[in-house]
């Protein structure tokens, strides 16, 4: 499915794809909780639904909306972002060499380092901002996938997706993009040539911190479709599909995605511009700042803003960072991101050993509060 030429992405999201319940005319889509479906008289399934593990109408409707927002061919929903991300790798033809960023979602990086080799997957980690590092790392005939994350959590590195795609495709490799922190509001990696887009839908797509979910959206290209078929088989075989109640909550969140991300991006830019002048802050990491090394690329491939995520490095080191977080009142100390509430986290203590995250760094997820309140709270904590 591709985006309708007559409807903007904002309209698609706000109207949940525009579907009206045929039985009642309901504007809010119903929740289908059945796990099994009646066979036809000839024992077939003419309506296309067989069993709840691969088939559910609520899940399919939510997948259809995400597919349109990403301008893809199809989407698969999973019970968590990690289930989606790991399936993208497990669906590769073994043995598989993959390339991944040095800075990326920590849990997936840990899985690639520790568990993936048991599945015949070997990962090489590079700085994907440096396209030459991608070129050097590619093994012709063996590299199956180049995985990108943009912006990359929690240092907010920016990779030129279109340029990386050209390098990977020339070598016969697929490209996957973790676009969780951009969301389809800001970046549509398939339009830049990517083969599969992954979201931890727990974050911006849901936006209310009440759903664990993940998604994979595949491009309308033969290699991507082959990967999609294998991923769907993995999901059905492992039972990692999202539940219908969670899918309904995710669909509800998608309906406000564009207004939320616009507000969060505007607030994050205001906060970054203000806090960068604070003497207690050694550095602000935010791609919306002109001084950010990836700013020009971000301005080109992030269409509606620079996102709601930023990090600050405290001038007083790790102790100052932890003390600053402890003094915050409006910002809440918690893991996760992309919700309506603003969160702060000392990432180095969460990620532990082998983390590329500096010990003086605080990761900030900007919510929907008054940005003046968020700035004031940061400034009092930094004092």
Assess whether 360 carries a catalytic annotation: no
Sequence-distant (6+) residues with CB within 8 A of 107 are 82
The C-alpha atoms of residue 78 and residue 24 are separated, in whole angstroms, by: 29
Q: What is the spatial order of strands in the sheet that 332-333 belongs to? A: 281-285, 309-314, 361-365, 343-345, 332-333
85: number of Cβ within 10 Å: 27
Exactly one of 178, 195, 360, 377 is catalytic; name it: 178
The C-alpha atoms of residue 268 and residue 164 are separated, in whole angstroms, by: 27
Assess whether 53 carries a catalytic annotation: yes
Using DSSP's 3-state secondary structure scheme, residue 113 falls into helix
Using DSSP's 3-state secondary structure scheme, residue 200 falls into coil
Exactly one of 7, 37, 49, 53 is catalytic; name it: 53
Assess whether 204 carries a catalytic annotation: no
The C-alpha atoms of residue 63 and residue 374 are separated, in whole angstroms, by: 34
Identify whether the C-beta of residue 269 lies closer than 8 Å to the C-beta of residue 308. no
The C-alpha atoms of residue 271 and residue 266 are separated, in whole angstroms, by: 9
Exactly one of 109, 188, 203, 263 is catalytic; name it: 203
Assess whether 203 carries a catalytic annotation: yes
Exactly one of 105, 109, 260, 360 is catalytic; name it: 105
The C-alpha atoms of residue 85 and residue 4 are separated, in whole angstroms, by: 28
Catalytic residues: 53, 105, 178, 203
């Amino acid at each position: 499915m591709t985006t309708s030429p007559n409807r903007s992405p904002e309209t698609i999201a706000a109207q949940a794809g525009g579907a009206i319940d045929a039985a009642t005319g309901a504007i809010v889509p119903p929740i289908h909780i059945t796990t099994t479906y009646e066979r036809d008289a000839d024992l077939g399934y003419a309506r296309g639904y067989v069993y709840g593990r691969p088939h559910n109408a609520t899940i399919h409707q939510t997948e259809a909306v995400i597919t349109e927002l990403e301008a893809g061919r199809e989407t698969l929903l999973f019970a968590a972002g990690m289930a989606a991300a790991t399936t993208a790798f497990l669906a590769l033809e073994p043995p598989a060499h993959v390339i991944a960023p040095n800075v990326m979602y920590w849990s997936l990086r840990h899985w690639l380092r520790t568990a993936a080799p048991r599945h015949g997957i070997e990962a090489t980690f590079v700085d994907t901002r440096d396209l030459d590092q991608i070129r050097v790392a590619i093994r012709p005939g063996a590299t199956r996938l180049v995985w990108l994350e943009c912006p990359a959590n929690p240092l907010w590195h920016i990779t030129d997706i279109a340029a990386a795609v050209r390098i990977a495709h020339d070598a016969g490799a697929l490209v996957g993009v973790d676009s969780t922190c951009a969301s389809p509001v800001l970046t549509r990696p398939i339009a830049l040539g990517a083969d599969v887009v992954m979201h931890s839908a727990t974050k911006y797509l849901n936006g209310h911190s009440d759903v664990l979910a993940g998604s994979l959206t595949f491009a309308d290209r033969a290699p991507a479709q082959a990967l999609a078929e294998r991923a769907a088989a993995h999901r059905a075989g492992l039972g990692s599909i999202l539940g219908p109640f969670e899918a309904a909550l995710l669909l509800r969140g998608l309906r406000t995605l564009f207004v939320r991300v616009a507000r969060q991006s505007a607030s994050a830019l205001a906060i970054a511009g203000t806090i960068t002048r604070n003497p207690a802050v050694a550095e602000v990491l935010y791609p919306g700042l002109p001084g950010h090394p990836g700013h020009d690329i971000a301005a080109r491939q992030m269409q509606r803003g620079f996102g709601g995520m930023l990090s600050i490095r405290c001038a007083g080191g790790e102790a100052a960072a932890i003390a600053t977080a402890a003094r915050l009142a409006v910002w809440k100390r918690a893991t996760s991101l992309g919700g309506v509430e603003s969160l702060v986290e000392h990432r180095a203590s969460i990620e532990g050993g082998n983390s590329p995250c500096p010990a003086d760094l605080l990761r900030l997820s900007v919510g929907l509060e008054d940005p003046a309140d968020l700035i004031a709270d940061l400034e009092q904590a930094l004092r």
